[in-house]
Amino acid sequence: MIIEQSTGGYAGAMTGEYPDHAAVPPDDGVRLTTGQLARRLGVQKGTLRNWRMKGKGPRYIKAEGKFGAVAYRRCDVAAWEDAQSRNRTDGEGPRRQPAGEPA
């Protein structure tokens, strides 16, 4: 398993589901731990746990068993991040169309 060494930040708590138009990039085999993704998004690890329980946030992979390890595929994180982009701050406007998609 390849774990991404991410030092970048993506501030702000984001929620939501994948829209139908979200293009999912191909799986490159890179997986992020909960800690790595929390740092990337600028949220606490507990926030990611809460999102998982509520069905929010990026898709994840969980090993079998009650205490199985959780990992996030980089392609799922990228698709989720793209789905969070907005044109307006009030939440009323349309979501930004991904590059290459018709408006």
C-beta of residue 87 within 8 angstroms of C-beta of residue 98: no
User: Token digits for 13?
Assistant: 């708590």
Prediction pTM value: 0.62
Task: Encode the chain (103 residues) as per-residue pLDDT tens digits.
Answer: 444 443 333 333 343 444 444 555 678 888 999 999 999 999 999 999 999 999 999 999 998 877 889 999 999 999 999 998 887 777 665 565 555 555 5
Instruction: Look up the CATH architecture of domain 2-11+27-84.
Output: Orthogonal Bundle (1.10)
Q: Express each pLDDT in 25-51 by its tens digit.
A: 678 888 999 999 999 999 999 999 999
Q: Which residue has the tokens 């009650």?
A: 66
CA distance 92 to 94: 7
